[in-house]
Structure 1
C-alpha cells in the first residue's frame, strides 16, 4: 500500500485536516514528512477507518471462546459456562456462514479480513517490535514462547518472528533481546496473553486472524481461504 495526502485522509475519515494532524501527532496515524507536507500511510488509515466503523469489539474471553468452539474444545468451553458456550457457537456459525461460498474476488477477501480483525482483535495485546537481525534465530527458539505462529504452514513465508507469549514472560524476553517498539520496520510480533490462556497452536481460525492482522493482500487472501475451509467442514458436520 502507498500513502495519501492529509486532505485525502481527512476526506476518507470524514474529519477536518487539523484532526488528521492531531492523529499524526498522537501516533494514531502513521505519517511521513516529505518536504513541507505530511503524507499518511494508507494501511494505517485503513486501520483507523475499520475501528471507527466497527461495532463493539468482542472481549478477549469471547474471542477465545469462539476459537474454542471452532476446535470443538468442550472441556475449555465448559469452564466458560453454558451461556458463553452457546453464544460462542452462535458467533462462530455467523462468521462461517459469511465464508460458506468460495472466495471469489478482492472485495470478498477484504470483507472476511475485516470480520476476522473485528471479532478477534482483542484476543491478545499485539505489539510490534524490532530485534537485531542476528538475534532472530535465537529468539525464534526461545523456550518461553507459548507458541510460535507458523506462517510457513499457511503458505506465507516470513523471516520474522511472530509468537504468543504469556504476560509474565514479556519483560524478560524484551530485556534479553533488547527489543524496541517499532512500526514499519518491525520484525517481531508479540501477541501477549494472560498466562492461563491456551493459545490453540493448531487452530486455523486463530491463524486466519493472525494473517488478517498483517493486512497484506497475500495474508488476507490466505486468511479468507482458511475461513472458507472451516466453513465447508462446519457445513458438512451440520448436515
Structure 2
C-alpha cells in the first residue's frame, strides 16, 4: 500500500540535505524534489526528501543487467547466469555475497532493518523503471487479471494486505495497458505500481530477493520488516550453495 508521508518546510529540507534554501527552491523548480504550495509557502514531501538523502549516502546502484544477474544468482539459476557471460556471473555472485553476508545472523532491530531496506533500494534501483499510477477502483480486478503482465507482485502472499495492483510489464505493452485502463500518473494516492522492464527480460516471479526489493521500495515499516525476513531466509541458503 502506498503510504503518504508528512511534509516539511523548505528550511527543514535545506538543513537535512545540508544545502541552502535557494538550492531547495531550485530543486522544487526543476522537479527533482516534490513539493506543494500551501498559501504563500512551499512544503516539501518527506518521501521525496528521504529518497535524495538515501541516494547521497547509499552505494552506487548496479546496472539493469547486473541487477537481474544478482537475482538469478540468488535463485541459483545457472542457465540465465551463463547468458550474461562469465564476468557478469562472477560479479553477480560478489554483489550477492556482499548483500547477504551481514544477515547470516538474524538482526530484527529497527536500525538493521532500515539499513537493509536502503541497501535493497540502492542495489536494485535500475532493475526496472518504477511508476506510480492510479486506476479506477472498479477496474483493479480486471487489471490484475490482465494476461499482459510479465509477473504480478503478490503482496498478499508476502503477508502485506493490499488491494493495490503491482507488477512487472514489458516496455512494449505499457502504452496499451495504460490506455485500456485509463491509468494516470499519481505519486500520491496511487493504487497501481508498475515496474517497466525491457522486452524479453525474465522477471523471476518466484524470487524472494526480487520481492524483497519490491517491498523495500514501499518504504513502510511492515514492508521493510518483511523484506528483511526474506533476506534472512536467503542468507544461510546462499552460504550453503557457495560452499
How does the TM-score come out when normalised to structure 1?
0.96
Residue in structure 2 matched with residue 87 of structure 1 by the alignment: 91
CA shift in 2, pair 1:178/1:120, >3 Å: same
- For residues 242 and 57 of structure 2, the distance between their equivalents in structure 1, rounded to whole angstroms, comes to 32
- How far did 1:125 drift? 0.7
SS at match of 1:58: coil
- For residues 73 and 5 of structure 1, the distance between their equivalents in structure 2, rounded to whole angstroms, comes to 48
* 1:140-199 per-position Cα deviation (integer Å, ceiling 9, x unaligned): 100000010001111011101101001110010011111111101111111011111100
- How far did 1:98 drift? 2.0
Unaligned runs of 5+ in 1: none
Among 176, 183, 186, the alignment partner of 1:179 is 183
* 1:16-53 per-position Cα deviation (integer Å, ceiling 9, x unaligned): 11111122222222223233222212121110111122
- How far did 1:238 drift? 4.3
- For residues 87 and 112 of structure 1, the distance between their equivalents in structure 2, rounded to whole angstroms, comes to 20
- For residues 133 and 22 of structure 1, the distance between their equivalents in structure 2, rounded to whole angstroms, comes to 36
Among 169, 179, 194, the alignment partner of 2:173 is 169
SS at match of 2:127: coil
- For residues 156 and 126 of structure 1, the distance between their equivalents in structure 2, rounded to whole angstroms, comes to 19
Residue in structure 1 matched with residue 141 of structure 2 by the alignment: 137
Instruction: Say whether 1:65 aligns with 2:69.
Output: yes
How does the TM-score come out when normalised to structure 2?
0.95
- For residues 94 and 143 of structure 1, the distance between their equivalents in structure 2, rounded to whole angstroms, comes to 37
Which segments of structure 1 move beyond 3 Å, counting only runs of 4 or more?
A: 236-239
Instruction: Say whether 1:126 aligns with 2:130.
Output: yes
- For residues 30 and 191 of structure 2, the distance between their equivalents in structure 1, rounded to whole angstroms, comes to 23
Residue in structure 2 matched with residue 46 of structure 1 by the alignment: 50
Among 147, 158, 164, the alignment partner of 1:160 is 164
- For residues 61 and 185 of structure 1, the distance between their equivalents in structure 2, rounded to whole angstroms, comes to 31
- How far did 1:4 drift? 1.5
Root-mean-square deviation (CA, aligned residues, Å) is: 1.2
Instruction: Say whether 1:194 aligns with 2:198.
Output: yes
Residue range with higher mean Cα deviation, 169-178 or 13-22: 13-22
Residue in structure 2 matched with residue 228 of structure 1 by the alignment: 232
- How far did 1:118 drift? 0.8
Greater RCO between the two (CA within 8 Å, min separation 6)?
2
Instruction: Say whether 1:211 aligns with 2:215.
Output: yes
Instruction: Say whether 1:74 aligns with 2:78.
Output: yes
Residue in structure 2 matched with residue 114 of structure 1 by the alignment: 118
Unaligned runs of 5+ in 2: none
